[in-house]
Amino acid sequence: MGSGFSFHSKTNPPSPELSLGDLPEGCVASVLVYLDPPEISRLSVLNRAFRGASSADFVWESKLPTNYDSIIRRVFDDFLPSDLCKKELYTRLCRQNSFDGGTKKAWLDKSTGGVCLSISSRGLAITGIDDRRYWNHIPTEESRFGTVAYLQQIWWFEVDGEVEFPFPPGTYSLFFRLHLGRASRRFGRRVCNSEHVHGWDIKPVRFQLSTSDGQEAISQCLLEESGKWIHCHVGDFVVEKFGVPTTIKVSMTQIDCTHTKGGLCLDSVVIYPSEFRERLKLF
């Protein structure tokens, strides 16, 4: 008789395949901390784990300025709801938030969280602004404030401004946003009236800034290009101390009274983190 043997092989069931959705939210959030806000927003639609991790407070607190509490007090006067999560707070600060009676706006750059600030023409001291023979405030969609100061003609041109703000540590650049000629829309097309433009190519305009901690910058240039907005770079300043507001004084002058000048739109003074200077060439 032959003897037969039978073997029964036991096979292990296949292991379930792991996916990104199986990662713990805490692990995902620890990775998202190292990404920029736009990247976090794009990844939030991948699955439930990424959606939950993308709303974690510690992720968005890492994107906020280190002194965001001081910025909130300065811009909102403590009228911001206290129960906002950090993602909602970041979103709110990225809006162009008006303060000081609507003459100034502050916001965070959506991509980097850098602090930006703008002072409208109504927030600046402009010599002769109340005399309609020289200046007018005109409405325009090309200003974030909805109006600009338009100069028809003047002998003594002088503009001064001042702002105190809790900028976080970093290097900042300050500009005047200007336009030679008066832009408008006609039949849906942008047109520029340059009939009053004169006197800016004879002697340079002088720009100056100073800060409460003793920094100063001076620059000057001729204004020659009409029909487009230009950002005239006044200078840079550095904020080193955490939690101490910086007072900035700025001026723009052309006080050579041998000739008149006119046809200028003065929109605002803008302050950006210095790494944004290349971006302004696109506007």
Does residue 232 contact residue 244 with C-beta atoms inside 8 Å? no
As a 3-state breakdown, the chain gives helix, strand, coil percent values, each rounded to 5, of 20, 35, 45
Mean pLDDT of 27-37: 85
Q: Which of 34, 61, 96 is the last residue of a domain?
A: 96
Do residues 196 and 80 share a domain?
A: no
126 by Cβ neighbours in 10 Å (0-12 / 13-18 / 19+) ranks as buried
Mean pLDDT of 262-281: 88
**What confidence tens digit (pLDDT) does each residue in 110-121 have?**
999 999 999 999
Residue of 123 and 29 predicted with greater confidence: 123
E strand intervals along 166-201: 170-180, 182-186, 189-193
Total domains in the fold of the chain = 2
How high is the pLDDT of residue 7?
Answer: 46
Length of the chain, please? 283
**What confidence tens digit (pLDDT) does each residue in 224-261 have?**
989 999 999 999 999 998 889 999 999 999 999 899 99
Does residue 103 contact residue 123 with C-beta atoms inside 8 Å? yes
Which residue range forms the structural domain that includes residue 62? 25-96
Residue 19 lies in a domain: no
> Closest Cα to residue 265, out of 202, 185, 192?
192
Do residues 81 and 177 share a domain?
A: no
Residue 225 lies in a domain: yes
- Region of poorest pLDDT, from 16-30, 60-74, 95-109, 228-242: 16-30
Mean pLDDT of 58-85: 89
- Three-state secondary structure call for residue 249: strand
Write down the mean pLDDT value for the chain.
89
- Share of residues in the chain with pLDDT > 70 (%): 90
Q: What is the pTM of this model?
A: 0.86
Mean pLDDT of 68-81: 87
Do residues 121 and 86 share a domain?
A: no
Do residues 124 and 251 share a domain?
A: yes
CATH number of the domain where residue 232 is located = 2.60.120.260
Residue 20 lies in a domain: no
How high is the pLDDT of residue 13?
Answer: 59
31 by Cβ neighbours in 10 Å (0-12 / 13-18 / 19+) ranks as middle
Do residues 240 and 165 share a domain?
A: yes
In this prediction, residue 5 has a pLDDT band, given cuts at 50, 70 and 90, of: very low
- Region of poorest pLDDT, from 54-63, 168-177, 261-270: 54-63
Do residues 151 and 198 share a domain?
A: yes
Give 28-45 as a DSSP string: HHHHHTTS-HHHHHHHTT
Residue 243 lies in a domain: yes
How high is the pLDDT of residue 10?
Answer: 55
Do residues 211 and 242 share a domain?
A: yes
Residue 156 lies in a domain: yes
Residue 17 lies in a domain: no
**Position 6 pLDDT exceeds 60:** no
Do residues 176 and 57 share a domain?
A: no
**What confidence tens digit (pLDDT) does each residue in 168-213 have?**
999 999 999 999 999 988 888 888 999 999 999 999 999 999 999 9
**What confidence tens digit (pLDDT) does each residue in 40-54 have?**
888 888 788 888 888
Backbone angles phi, psi at 173, to 5 degrees: -120, 140
**Position 283 pLDDT exceeds 50:** no
Residue 5 lies in a domain: no
Residue 88 lies in a domain: yes
> Closest Cα to residue 180, out of 169, 193, 171, 165?
193
In this prediction, residue 11 has a pLDDT band, given cuts at 50, 70 and 90, of: low
87 DSSP assignment: H
Do residues 184 and 235 share a domain?
A: yes
Residue of 46 and 17 predicted with greater confidence: 46
Report the alpha-carbon distance of residue 180 to residue 184 in Å, rounded. 13
> In the chain, how long is the greatest CA-to-CA distance?
130
Do residues 192 and 148 share a domain?
A: yes
Do residues 145 and 232 share a domain?
A: yes
